[in-house]
């Protein structure tokens, strides 16, 4: 019955019982993008694939994606996300049902515009530190920009969302960031391999990797536990050992409630959140809040280095809006005024979406209607993978789709909103979207104002390490600009 339901959709030959295991076995984090691109060219943007008895719908089709992502019904994440479960628990990224609803409701106000406005001060200060830390690199030599950007993103998420300064940029090494790097690389193998997704098979066939995974997760949990304890202590000190919400500061303004404060003070079903529940949200936001923006910023700086004319146009806008005075803090109003910078960021997120694919498991039948495939039903139990990377490079939607052309985002978008979805869309979209956009604007404006980015080193080679990364790193050169010295 399931085969009949999707017989109208194209896809590779799937022999009975085994299905397309041969295709899956040719995929790894390095080849995934290439192999799925080839399949898309062969079978089109919407395909059905059988793997053993599992039915997978691979979609880079904006019509279908719009219907699925906008629905209030299909919100359960794909089972592959479970490989992150030991690390992120039931945090917002992985949870579903009542837990997800309750948590999303508690957390949404912590990303409200008025709170983001106060975070901009932190973006400003930490971007200044990043610009300073980059100074020794501004010598015209090739280097990888990933680490300095990653440390700045960590400082920013810790100080804003967790209310805790961790001084990652000042540190020689940051075991948490190193563990995230290694763990996401390890987990991305499990993401793509059908059998390694099963915890027992993974443990039996790869005991060393399992041991290493446990160690890395312990390092990350130790770090986030410390962040929570520190914040709890500060709150207790501030409020005379009594955790009671005090929304106003000394002069009666609304006090900034960091995400972690809200979690420490929240009650759900009449009880406070347990330590484990708080930790899984802190793990989720520390990871999602720095790894994605690091990827986005690193790709953007790399691609800008290869497009001097775009840098020039950006610089003109930056100097017009924020000027050359490094002591003047950059405000949210300044950031909102930089429209060309916004186009640059969008175009970089189109070519290099930090989250290259998202997945759902259908709990009920998904009824769709499509201009090419007509009305149909994808049966409950099927798995749905949305290929953001492939869709955003579709040449029918984006002329010269492989080229970096920020101007295509000027004067309103000429493509459907569901063709360009780096932050996903619908009820399970990215809660940190505005936060990320403001952070990126601040960092890019400050770096480009200070340094000219040079097209040095190897080009990027996209790999999927849970988020999108580059196998060759993010190489470029830098030179201090004369006009801002």
Give the residue numbers of the binding site.
Answer: 430
CB 433 to ligand HEM: min, Å: 7
CA–CA separation, 48 vs 56, rounded Å?
A: 6
Instruction: Verify binding: residue 464, ligand HEM, rule CB under 6 A.
Output: no
Looking at 113-121, 144-152, 189-197, 351-359, which segment touches ligand HEM (CB under 6 A)?
351-359
**Total site size for ligand HEM, rule CB under 6 A:** 23
Query: Is 101 or 218 the residue whose CB approaches ligand HEM more closely?
Result: 101
Looking at 24-32, 290-298, 319-327, 331-339, which segment touches ligand HEM (CB under 6 A)?
290-298
* DSSP category for residue 19: B
Nearest-CA neighbor of 450 among 129, 210, 42, 69? 129
What DSSP string runs through 230-255? HHHHHHHHHTTT------B-TTSPBP
CB 111 to ligand HEM: min, Å: 7
Instruction: Verify binding: residue 356, ligand HEM, rule CB under 6 A.
Output: no
Looking at 16-24, 45-53, 393-401, 427-435, which segment touches ligand HEM (CB under 6 A)?
427-435
Q: How far is CA 185 from the centre of its chain?
A: 15
Cβ(176)–Cβ(219) under 8 Å? yes
Tell which one of 19, 163, 354, 477 touches ligand HEM (CB under 6 A): 354
Query: Is 277 or 452 the residue whose CB approaches ligand HEM more closely?
Result: 277
Looking at 33-41, 51-59, 169-177, 350-358, which segment touches ligand HEM (CB under 6 A)?
350-358
Looking at 131-139, 233-241, 269-277, 429-437, which segment touches ligand HEM (CB under 6 A)?
429-437
Nearest-CA neighbor of 142 among 306, 313, 378, 307? 306
Instruction: Verify binding: residue 422, ligand HEM, rule CB under 6 A.
Output: yes
At residue 51, φ and ψ (nearest 5 deg) are -130, 115
Query: Is 86 or 104 the residue whose CB approaches ligand HEM more closely?
Result: 104
Nearest-CA neighbor of 86 among 260, 210, 223, 268? 210
Position closest to ligand HEM via CB: 432
* DSSP category for residue 394: -
Query: Is 357 or 454 the residue whose CB approaches ligand HEM more closely?
Result: 357
CA–CA separation, 158 vs 441, rounded Å?
A: 19
Instruction: Verify binding: residue 302, ligand HEM, rule CB under 6 A.
Output: no
Instruction: Verify binding: residue 423, ligand HEM, rule CB under 6 A.
Output: yes
CB 468 to ligand HEM: min, Å: 9
Report how far apart, in Å, the C-alpha atoms of 254 and of each of 234, 235, 446 are: 19, 16, 29
Nearest-CA neighbor of 125 among 389, 262, 327, 427? 327
Looking at 20-28, 234-242, 316-324, 430-438, which segment touches ligand HEM (CB under 6 A)?
430-438
Instruction: Verify binding: residue 163, ligand HEM, rule CB under 6 A.
Output: no
CA–CA separation, 47 vs 424, rounded Å?
A: 20
User: Residue 453: enclosing H or E segment and its boundaries?
Assistant: strand 451-454
For helices 433-450 and 339-351, angle between their N-to-C axes, nearest 10 degrees: 110
CB 316 to ligand HEM: min, Å: 25
Binding string, 73-112, against ligand HEM, x = CB under 6 A? -------------------xx----------x--------
Instruction: Verify binding: residue 350, ligand HEM, rule CB under 6 A.
Output: no
Query: Is 74 or 147 the residue whose CB approaches ligand HEM more closely?
Result: 74
Sign of the CA dihedral with 156 first, then 158, 163, and 168 last: negative
Binding string, 255-284, against ligand HEM, x = CB under 6 A? -----------------------------x
Instruction: Verify binding: residue 424, ligand HEM, rule CB under 6 A.
Output: yes
Nearest-CA neighbor of 348 among 400, 409, 424, 290? 409
Sign of the CA dihedral with 379 first, then 385, 386, and 391 last: negative
CA–CA separation, 236 vs 450, rounded Å?
A: 41
Report how far apart, in Å, the C-alpha atoms of 265 and of each of 133, 160, 242, 289 are: 36, 17, 11, 21
Looking at 7-15, 16-24, 374-382, 425-433, which segment touches ligand HEM (CB under 6 A)?
425-433
CB 55 to ligand HEM: min, Å: 20
CA–CA separation, 137 vs 124, rounded Å?
A: 21
Q: Which residues bind ligand HEM (CB under 6 A)?
A: 92-93, 104, 161, 284-285, 288-289, 292-293, 296, 354-355, 358, 422-424, 428, 430-432, 435-436
């Amino acid at each position: 019955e399931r085969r009949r339901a999707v017989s109208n959709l194209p896809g590779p030959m799937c022999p009975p019982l085994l299905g397309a295991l041969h295709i899956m076995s040719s995929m790894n984090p390095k080849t995934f993008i290439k192999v799925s691109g080839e399949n898309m060219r062969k079978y089109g943007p919407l395909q059905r694939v059988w793997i053993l008895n599992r039915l997978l719908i691979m979609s880079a089709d904006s019509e279908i994606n719009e219907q699925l992502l906008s629905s209030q019904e299909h919100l359960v994440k794909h089972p592959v996300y479970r490989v992150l479960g030991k690390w992120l628990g039931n945090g917002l990224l992985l949870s579903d049902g009542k837990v997800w609803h309750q948590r999303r409701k508690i957390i949404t106000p912590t990303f409200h515009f008025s709170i983001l406005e106060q975070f901009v001060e932190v973006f400003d200060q930490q971007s200044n530190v990043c610009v300073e830390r980059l100074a020794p690199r501004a010598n015209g030599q090739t280097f990888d920009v990933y680490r300095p950007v990653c440390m700045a993103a960590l400082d920013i998420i810790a100080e804003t969302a967790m209310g805790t300064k961790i001084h990652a940029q000042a540190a020689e090494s940051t075991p948490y960031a190193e563990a995230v790097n290694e763990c996401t690389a390890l987990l991305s193998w499990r993401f793509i391999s059908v059998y390694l997704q099963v915890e027992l098979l993974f443990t039996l066939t790869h005991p060393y990797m399992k041991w290493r995974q446990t160690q890395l997760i312990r390092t990350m949990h130790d770090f986030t536990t410390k962040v929570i304890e520190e914040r709890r202590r500060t709150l207790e000190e501030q409020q005379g050992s009594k955790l009671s919400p005090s929304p106003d500061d000394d002069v009666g303004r609304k006090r900034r409630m960091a995400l972690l404060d809200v979690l420490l003070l929240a009650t759900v079903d009449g009880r406070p959140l347990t330590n484990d529940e708080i930790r899984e949200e802190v793990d989720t936001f520390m990871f999602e809040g720095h790894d994605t923006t690091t990827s986005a910023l690193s790709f953007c700086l790399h691609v800008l280095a290869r497009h001097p004319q775009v840098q020039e146009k950006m610089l003109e806008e930056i100097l017009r809006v924020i000027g050359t005075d490094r002591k003047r803090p950059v405000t949210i109003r300044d950031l909102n005024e930089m429209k060309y910078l916004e186009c640059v960021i969008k175009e970089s997120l189109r070519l290099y979406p930090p989250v290259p694919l998202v997945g759902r498991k259908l709990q009920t039948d998904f009824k769709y209607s499509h201009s090419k495939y007509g009305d149909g039903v994808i049966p409950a139990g099927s798995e749905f993978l949305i290929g953001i990377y492939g869709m955003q490079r579709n040449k029918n939607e984006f002329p010269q789709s492989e080229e970096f052309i920020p101007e295509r985002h000027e004067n309103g978008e000429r493509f459907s909103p569901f063709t360009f979805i780096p932050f996903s869309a619908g009820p399970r979209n990215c809660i940190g979207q505005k936060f990320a956009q403001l952070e990126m604007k601040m960092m890019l404006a400050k770096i480009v104002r200070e340094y000219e980015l040079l097209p040095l080193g190897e080009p990027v080679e996209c790999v999927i390490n849970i988020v999108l990364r580059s196998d060759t790193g993010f190489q470029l050169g830098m030179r201090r600009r004369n006009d801002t010295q």
